[in-house]
């Protein structure tokens, strides 16, 4: 299933998106917590505004340097264990929402990533049990103020600004993520073209590792790292991240 969150101008609702990504069938509640029941209302996707498909209740967990080529391009070693950081849920925005580049940074980068959405409360999950706690997958842009990441040492500010965590366009619940093509386009130019097969630590290892540290709650999101090709965005440019089997997430970047 593809589960989207959307609005037609009223309160946000959830819906099931068809395979072509053209129609959305409204459902009654939040599918993380309630059984999926159709309301009977169907919209054209083009007639609704898609929202972030999930607002993480407690946290977004990021993973640093999980693709060897990306670690190398920034002059870093691949860490022996997954390198974790936290992003506040206030950074999350949806498809089409503008990323607001803050005055504190002059070097804001895109990072296209596969995002894992957790479906149930869990702790100390074994790698072989990870599929049971994953609700689905979506696309993320782990926007990073690269200059502040370097100068701060800690990554909380560099990756945690409001609007720095676009998620969408929807959650795909049935997906084998072992080898999915991930491309990022900056305006018309393809800048990242990788595959999830090149992750240093795969999804099962990452979820197990994260849950060994933190209790995960339904709606928590884990970002799985970015392939090579990161780079700066200028105000007025648009970044689109596309993952095979899910769809594409596109956001304009602006400076106020």
Interacting residues with Zn ion (CB under 5 A): 111, 142, 226
Structural contact between residues 241 and 139, judged by C-beta atoms closer than 8 angstroms: yes
CB of 115 to Zn ion, least distance (A): 10
Shortest distance, CB of residue 62 to Zn ion, whole angstroms?
6
Decide if 146 contacts 123 (C-beta within 8 A): no
Q: State which residue, 142 or 220, has the beta carbon closest to Zn ion.
A: 142
Q: How far is the CB of 168 from Zn ion (least distance, A)?
A: 16
CA distance 191 to 187: 10
CB nearer to Zn ion: give 27 or 148: 148
Peptide bond into 48 cis (omega under 30): no
Both structure tokens of 68: 């060897």
Nearest distance from C-beta of residue 112 to Zn ion, angstroms: 9
Residue for token digits 């407690």? 58
Least distance in angstroms from the C-beta of 63 to Zn ion: 7
Distances (CA, A) of 120 to 24, 25, 32, 131, 228: 25, 24, 8, 11, 32
Nearer Cβ to Zn ion, position 14 or 110?
110
Nearer to Zn ion, 95 or 112 (CB): 112
Residue nearest to Zn ion as judged by C-beta position: 142
Q: 230: how many CB neighbours lie within 10 A of its CB?
A: 19
The smaller minimum CB distance to Zn ion, of residues 142 and 240, is found at: 142
């Amino acid at each position: 299933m593809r589960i989207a969150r959307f609005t037609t101008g009223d309160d946000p609702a959830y819906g099931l998106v068809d395979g072509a990504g053209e129609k959305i069938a409204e459902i009654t509640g939040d599918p993380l917590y309630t059984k999926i029941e159709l309301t009977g209302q169907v919209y054209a996707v083009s007639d609704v505004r898609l929202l972030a498909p999930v607002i993480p209740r407690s946290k977004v967990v990021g993973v640093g340097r999980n693709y060897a080529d990306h670690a190398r391009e920034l002059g870093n070693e691949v860490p022996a264990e997954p390198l974790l950081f936290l992003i506040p849920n206030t950074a999350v925005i949806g498809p089409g929402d503008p990323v607001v580049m803050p005055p504190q940074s002059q070097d804001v980068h895109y990072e296209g990533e596969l995002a894992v959405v957790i479906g149930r409360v869990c702790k100390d999950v074994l790698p072989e049990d990870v599929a049971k706690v994953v609700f689905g997958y979506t696309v993320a842009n782990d926007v990073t103020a690269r200059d502040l990441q370097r100068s701060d040492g800690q990554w909380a500010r560099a990756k945690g600004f409001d609007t720095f965590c676009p998620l969408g366009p929807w959650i795909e619940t049935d997906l084998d993520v072992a080898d999915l093509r991930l491309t990022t386009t900056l305006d018309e130019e393809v800048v990242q073209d990788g595959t999830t097969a090149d992750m240093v630590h795969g999804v099962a290892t990452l979820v197990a590792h994260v849950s060994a540290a933190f209790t995960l709650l339904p709606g928590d999101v884990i970002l799985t790292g970015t392939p090579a090709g990161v780079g700066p965005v200028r105000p007025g440019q648009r970044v689109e991240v596309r993952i095979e089997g899910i769809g594409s997430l596109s956001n304009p970047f602006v400076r106020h």
